């Protein structure tokens, strides 16, 4: 018997998958690099015309075919099951380095209680590997305990906690001297950059990453649905995810401006720049702990969803039980993640001039993720009967999604994804 979510459990787990490093770490620095407020306009447009259609499609496919991403695609057409395997590969590839960073956030939140942390010193100890392994054990244990008793129960507790931590940090950040400068930078749109196509493509790529779309995560979560209003659930997930990303900006920019730092410092903002700033702040250790705990909770609930993609595939396709399936995924992720865990240490090596972890993030996060979203969407939309898809989406919803969503999914979204892939490659 297939397990089922409760209504709230499904929504919280999906929000948990969406909210993660993408919101709290990636979103603010991309806004910073793209000149502030104008990016927000592009991002809001991207989640409506791009994120929402993809999300309802994935949930509907999961709910209808009640199987892993491989199983569901196979039921649509036997030929596209290989796209399903590719999705599992991309998802686990992302998980392998995402979990290393999750481990950093765990280490930072624990160490921040006692001392100041220096990134270079930290990465030259054994802690990154130890923490990677500990977080891997934690998510394995949760996923192995099952959909309802494991994932759902954990998200029921962690998601409300995450919202409280965000509010605490927003209040602290907004009461810093000069906070208003940060807010002004954040919210003032630089209208001229709206005509820059690469900013729009960045916004779409960020929506893809942040909403956990394109690698079968939401198909997998949808496959454990019983009866749900898909459009309404999707809107709740999208609004919550966006709210946290926007609030993360209200944390980062006041802090950055209050201490006179360049807002476009890029990925090192969270692990190198912010700890230095916290050390000058009243109750800095406390707020630093809260900040990294927030990152850890967000990342953990996203990592769980990625592990579930591999686990559900092994259960549905190879008839393994959950215990065995999680153990196999654990082994794969441990081996695949080790080189990333060694990155920035004395054993670090570079590939194409990047550390292994950065190379993985570029290869999987920037290139293979949009490629995967492209082939999965095209594969599904090519073979599924439009009526079947629409029926599933609208089955339990009073407000009906109109038929023009079909050409949007079949032509418009793949075209955007293709442009993103080509742009990344050149
Ligand atoms: N959505 C998550 C985040 O914003 O951090 C993580 C994520 C999951 C990204 C799955 C990409 C993905 F395929």
Q: Which residues are within 8 A (CB) of 413 and not within 5 positions of it... i.e. 6 or more apart? A: 50, 53, 54, 377
Tokens 């990294």, residue? 292
pLDDT of residue 249: 94
Task: Using the mean position of ligand 1's atoms as its centre, give its distance from the Cα of residue 73 in Å.
Answer: 21
SS3 350: strand
Task: Using the mean position of ligand 1's atoms as its centre, give its distance from the Cα of residue 244 in Å.
Answer: 14
Q: Does residue 422 register a pLDDT over 90? A: yes
SS3 348: coil
Contact present, 298 and 20 (Cβ < 8 Å): yes
SS3 47: helix
Our measurement of the distance from residue 309's CA atom to the centroid of its chain's CA atoms, rounded to an integer in Å, reads 14
Q: Which helix H or strand E contains 85, and what residues bound it? A: helix 81-111
264: its two tokens: 């476009």
Gap between the Cα atoms of 66 and 403, Å rounded: 23
Q: Does residue 28 register a pLDDT over 80? A: yes
Q: Does residue 138 register a pLDDT over 80? A: yes
| Ligand 1 atom nearest 91 alpha carbon | 13
Q: Alpha helix locations (H) across 188-283?
A: 197-210, 217-222, 230-258, 268, 274-278
Q: Which residues line ligand 1 (CB under 6 A)?
A: 18, 20-23, 91, 94, 209-210, 212, 215, 217, 302, 306, 369
Task: Using the mean position of ligand 1's atoms as its centre, give its distance from the Cα of residue 280 in Å.
Answer: 32
Gap between the Cα atoms of 31 and 178, Å rounded: 19
Task: Using the mean position of ligand 1's atoms as its centre, give its distance from the Cα of residue 240 in Å.
Answer: 14
* Pairing relationship of beta strands 350-351 and 354-355 according to DSSP bridges: antiparallel
Q: Which residue has the higher pLDDT, 216 or 120?
A: 216
Gap between the Cα atoms of 145 and 30, Å rounded: 36
Grade residue 230 by pLDDT with cuts at 50, 70 and 90.
very high
Q: What is the pLDDT of residues 389-416, one digit of tens each?
A: 999 999 999 999 999 999 999 999 999 9
Lowest mean pLDDT among 91-95, 156-160, 188-192, 253-257: 188-192
Q: Does residue 1 register a pLDDT over 90? A: no
| Ligand 1 atom nearest 20 alpha carbon | 5
SS3 397: coil
Q: What is the DSSP letter of 114?
A: T
Q: Does residue 143 register a pLDDT over 90? A: yes
Gap between the Cα atoms of 330 and 124, Å rounded: 24
Q: How high does pLDDT run on average in the chain?
A: 94
Q: What is the pLDDT of residues 273-291, one digit of tens each?
A: 888 888 888 899 999 999 9
Q: Does residue 16 register a pLDDT over 90? A: yes
Lowest mean pLDDT among 28-37, 42-51, 210-219, 238-247: 28-37
Q: Alpha helix locations (H) across 112-152?
A: 119-123, 127-145
Q: What is the pLDDT of residues 71-89, one digit of tens each?
A: 999 999 999 999 999 999 9
Nearest CA to ligand 1 atom 12: 212
pLDDT of residue 190: 84
| Ligand 1 atom nearest 369 alpha carbon | 13
pLDDT of residue 266: 67
Q: What is the pLDDT of residues 251-277, one digit of tens each?
A: 999 999 998 888 877 667 888 888 888
Q: Does residue 348 register a pLDDT over 80? A: no
Task: Using the mean position of ligand 1's atoms as its centre, give its distance from the Cα of residue 360 in Å.
Answer: 14
> Mean per-residue pLDDT for 350-379?
93
Query: Would you state the CATH architecture of domain 7-425?
Result: Up-down Bundle (1.20)
Q: Does residue 64 register a pLDDT over 90? A: yes
Q: What percent of the chain has pLDDT over 70?
A: 100
Q: Does residue 25 register a pLDDT over 80? A: yes
Q: Alpha helix locations (H) across 146-216?
A: 153-174, 179-187, 197-210
Q: Does residue 344 register a pLDDT over 90? A: no
Task: Using the mean position of ligand 1's atoms as its centre, give its distance from the Cα of residue 127 in Å.
Answer: 24
Nearest CA to ligand 1 atom 7: 212
Task: Using the mean position of ligand 1's atoms as its centre, give its distance from the Cα of residue 210 in Å.
Answer: 5
357: its two tokens: 């972890």
Q: What percent of the chain has pLDDT over 90?
A: 81
State which of 14, 18, 100 you would mutate to test the pocket of ligand 1, scoring each by most atoms of that ligand within 8 A of its C-beta. 18
Task: List the domain boundaries for the chain.
Answer: 7-425
279: its two tokens: 């050390």
State which of 15, 21, 301 you would mutate to test the pocket of ligand 1, scoring each by most atoms of that ligand within 8 A of its C-beta. 21
């Amino acid at each position: 018997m297939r397990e089922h979510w409760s209504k709230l459990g499904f929504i919280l787990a999906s929000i948990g998958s969406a909210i993660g490093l993408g919101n709290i770490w990636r979103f603010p620095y991309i806004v910073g690099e793209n000149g502030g407020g104008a990016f927000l306009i592009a991002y809001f447009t991207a989640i409506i015309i791009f994120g929402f259609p993809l999300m309802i499609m994935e949930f509907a496919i999961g709910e209808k075919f009640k199987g892993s991403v491989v199983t569901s695609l196979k039921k649509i057409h036997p030929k596209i099951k290989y796209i399903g395997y590719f999705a599992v590969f991309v998802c686990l590839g992302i998980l392998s380095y995402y979990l290393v960073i999750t481990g950093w956030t765990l280490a930072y939140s624990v160490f921040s209680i006692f001392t100041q942390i220096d990134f270079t010193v930290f990465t030259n100890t054994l802690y990154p590997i130890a923490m990677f392994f500990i977080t891997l054990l934690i998510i394995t244990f949760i996923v192995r305990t099952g959909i309802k008793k494991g994932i759902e129960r954990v998200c029921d507790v962690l998601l409300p906690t995450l919202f409280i931590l965000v509010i605490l940090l927003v209040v602290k950040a907004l009461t810093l001297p000069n906070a208003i400068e940060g807010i002004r930078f954040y919210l003032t749109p630089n209208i001229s950059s709206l005509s820059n196509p690469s900013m729009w493509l960045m916004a779409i790529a960020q929506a893809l990453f942040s909403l956990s779309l394109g690698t079968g995560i939401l198909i997998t979560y949808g496959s454990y649905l019983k009866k749900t209003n898909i459009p309404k659930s999707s809107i709740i997930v999208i609004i919550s995810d966006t709210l946290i990303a926007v609030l993360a900006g209200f944390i980062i920019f006041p802090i950055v401006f209050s201490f006179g730092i360049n807002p476009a410092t890029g990925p090192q903002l969270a692990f190198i720049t912010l700890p230095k700033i916290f050390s000058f702040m009243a109750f800095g250790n406390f707020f630093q702990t809260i900040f990294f705990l927030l990152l850890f909770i967000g990342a953990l609930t996203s990592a769980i969803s990625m592990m579930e993609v591999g686990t559900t595939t092994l259960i549905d396709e190879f008839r393994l039980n959950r215990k065995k399936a999680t153990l196999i995924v654990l082994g794969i992720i441990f081996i695949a993640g080790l080189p990333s865990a060694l990155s920035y240490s004395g054993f670090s090596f570079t590939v194409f001039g990047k550390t292994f972890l950065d190379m993985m993030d570029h290869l999987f996060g920037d290139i293979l993720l949009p490629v995967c979203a492209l082939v999965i969407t095209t594969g599904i939309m090519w073979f599924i009967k439009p009526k079947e898809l629409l029926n599933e989406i609208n089955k339990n919803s009073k407000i009906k999604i109109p038929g023009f969503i079909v050409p949007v999914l079949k032509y418009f979204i793949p075209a955007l994804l293709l442009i993103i892939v080509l742009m990344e490659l050149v």
